[in-house]
Amino acid sequence: MKVLGIDLGGTNVSMGVVDDTGKIVARLTIETRVIDGFESVVKRISEASSKLIESVGGVEGIGIGSPGSIDHKRGVVRFSPNFPDWIDVPLAPELEKRLGVKVVLENDANAFVVGEKWFGSGKGYTDIIGITLGTGVGGGVISNGQLLRGSTGIGAELGHVVVEPNGYLCGCGNHGCLETIASATGISRLAKEWKERYPKSNLSDFSAKSVMNAAQAEDPLGLKVLDRVSSALGIAIGNLIHIFNPQLIVIGGGVSRAGKVLLSAVKQRTRENVMRSFWGTYKIVLSDLVDDAGIYGAASMGFEEINSPSLENDI
């Protein structure tokens, strides 16, 4: 069995055909070119998809992970900050019509946690929380084996859990969301704001990667930012543990490449924020899918559809 996974991003579209052993047997990346408009983007995705599908002798399904608010049942992108002109666009139906294969559309963070269940650290677990730390912060929740979508399909916006009331203004319009601190954008902003207070810091490049590398090297500014970021994540994850009682919390996205220095700090801060009765009931790990998490996540939605065609048990 093979499924095509399409990771739809604002800059690039990454595609990969994944077989049921978890191997990516063919892959391709094209520019998104959002400025060309929806019809043009769909046309180029379908053309590239056709090439990949033909190269492997066909697929049983297609999954797409897209940022933004998604109507999973209708296959519609309601709104996405990466695609400002895409309002209620029928992405899945349009691709189905062109490719003749069932297409399943899902929010990319939801797809991430399902991908972890199928191909990553979440194998064998029924209760998983996935958090993606990238330009923004996304999240997804699997409870009792089922993906939680909420009453209108747009639930589990974990990046907008408020961790600092009256904190930074978030793009969502609220203040103090996790995304304002633990995203790559938030990390960079914190380092720039505090650079004058740490004249002994060697940081000159304030990208999230450089800041986390500085923390690993025990640079004072890097350590200060890491403390703030891990504190925010510890509060958010602690709250999520109290609500969902997960077995596993998986952290992915570009910021997760910081590795052990981030994981260790988050584990400690989370422990400080959960009730004693929850100690030992959960594990926090970094995703080992990292660069291919988008493809695996998208493909996993296709596998879910094939294995549970109705998906009516999704919560």
63 with 155, same domain: the answer is: no
Report the C-alpha gap between 315 and 312 in whole angstroms: 8
Average of pLDDT values for 218-244?
A: 98
Tokens (6 digits) for 244 = 């969902």
Which has the minimum average pLDDT: 5-9, 156-160, 249-253, 309-313?
Answer: 309-313
The phi, psi pair for 163, rounded to 5°, reads -115, -15
**Would 115 be classed as within a structural domain?**
no
pLDDT tens string 24-50: 999 999 999 999 999 999 999 999 999
Residue 20 pLDDT > 70, yes or no?
Answer: yes
DSSP letter, residue 21: T
**Would 180 be classed as within a structural domain?**
yes
pTM, rounded to two decimals? 0.90
Range of the domain at 37: 2-107+292-307
pLDDT tens string 48-94: 999 999 999 999 999 999 988 899 999 999 988 778 889 999 999 99
**Would 272 be classed as within a structural domain?**
yes
Residue position matching structure tokens 């180029």: 44
β-pairing, 2-8 vs 12-19, is antiparallel
Q: How confident is the model at residue 154 (pLDDT cuts 50, 70, 90)?
A: confident
Residue 202 pLDDT > 50, yes or no?
Answer: yes
The total of structural domains in the chain comes to 2
β-pairing, 248-252 vs 283-286, is parallel
Report the C-alpha gap between 315 and 4 in whole angstroms: 25
CATH number at residue 300: 3.30.420.40
